[in-house]
């Protein structure tokens, strides 16, 4: 019998890697994925394996149908099950531009990954999970977690395409939570705030100053592990009746304060 298995997209670094490590520590067989060639991930995979974790790297550009199908099919072929999809892969615009100047190329690129890719990863995983429910697998309670962003509701007019993609992803979570309820498959969203990753590093000083001045009740930048902790809170089974729930990993940014 294979252990519970999770696919974490965009998990070579940052938030995705923190989630992958947390799931591996909890006993999951974990599928690391990203757009890099397999050879570029050997070191981190070897490190995790040396710690006793069961991990495999599968290259996946979630904007590409063939890659989405390949990662799902390869995971099930190797492990016989898919218990969890964590939709973490995403990208920021390569160049921040005022929405009066945003190019169609940038818009298409960001939404192809963050929204279209994530939507169809949900679809592919959901179909596989529904089919696996008829296989009599032990302790099979599949779930999907989407990693959103406070940008789903907080305006950033120099990266409008990113905000729109994350707003769409929030509705994606609601749609799949609704549709998959009949199959007993909960779907959740974790909504990070300002997390110290490669994506936020260029504007770290700006955000640290804003946080110090009161932007968030908790006066520090978030860590990838803060997001991973929220994912772990959702996948243990205690939250299944709350399908569609959003956990804000944002230091309290979402609170309306006077």
Residue that the structure tokens 């757009």 belong to:
35
Section 147-169 average pLDDT? 97
Query: Is-contact 107 126, C-beta < 8 A?
Result: no
Does residue 181 surpass a pLDDT of 90?
A: yes
Answer yes or no: 162 catalytic. yes
Does residue 29 surpass a pLDDT of 70?
A: yes
pLDDT in tens, 34-55: 999 988 889 999 999 999 999 9
Q: What average pLDDT does the structure give for the chain?
A: 96
Q: How far apart are CA 197 and CA 11, in angstroms?
A: 12
Section 68-79 average pLDDT? 98
Does residue 1 surpass a pLDDT of 70?
A: no
Enter the pTM of the model.
Answer: 0.95
Given 57, 79, 162, 207, the catalytic residue: 162
pLDDT above 70: percentage of residues in the chain: 100
Residue 215 neighbours by CB distance under 10 Å: 16
Beta strands in 53-161 (DSSP E): 55-59, 84-87, 143-147
Q: Where are the domains of the chain?
A: 5-249
Closest listed residue to residue 127, CA positions, set 68, 189, 64, 171: 68
Section 60-71 average pLDDT? 98
Tell me which fold the domain 5-249 belongs to. Answer: Rossmann fold (3.40.50)
Query: Is-contact 18 227, C-beta < 8 A?
Result: yes
């Amino acid at each position: 019998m294979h252990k519970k298995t999770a696919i974490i997209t965009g998990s070579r670094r940052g938030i995705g890697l923190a989630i992958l490590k947390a799931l591996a520590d909890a006993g999951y067989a974990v599928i690391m994925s990203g757009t890099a060639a397999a050879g570029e991930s050997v070191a981190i995979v070897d490190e995790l394996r040396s710690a006793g974790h069961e991990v495999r790297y599968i290259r996946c550009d979630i904007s590409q149908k063939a890659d989405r199908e390949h990662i799902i099919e390869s995971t099930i072929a190797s492990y016989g099950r898919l218990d969890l999809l964590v939709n973490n892969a995403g990208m920021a615009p390569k160049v921040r531009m005022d929405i009066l100047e945003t190019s169609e190329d940038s818009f298409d690129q960001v939404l192809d990954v963050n929204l279209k890719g994530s939507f169809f990863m949900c679809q592919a995983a959901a179909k596989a999970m529904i089919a696996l429910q008829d296989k009599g697998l032990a302790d099979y309670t599949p779930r999907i977690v989407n990693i959103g962003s406070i940008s789903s509701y907080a305006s950033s007019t120099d990266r409008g395409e990113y905000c729109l993609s994350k707003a769409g992803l929030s509705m994606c979570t609601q749609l799949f939570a609704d549709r998959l309820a009949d199959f007993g498959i909960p779907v959740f969203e974790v909504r990070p705030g300002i997390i110290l990753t490669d994506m936020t590093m260029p504007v770290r000083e700006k955000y640290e100053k804003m946080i110090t001045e009161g932007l968030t009740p908790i006066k520090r930048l978030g860590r990838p592990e803060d997001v991973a902790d929220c994912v772990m809170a959702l996948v243990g089974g205690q939250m299944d009746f709350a399908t569609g729930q959003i956990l804000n990993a944002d230091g309290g940014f979402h609170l309306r304060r006077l």
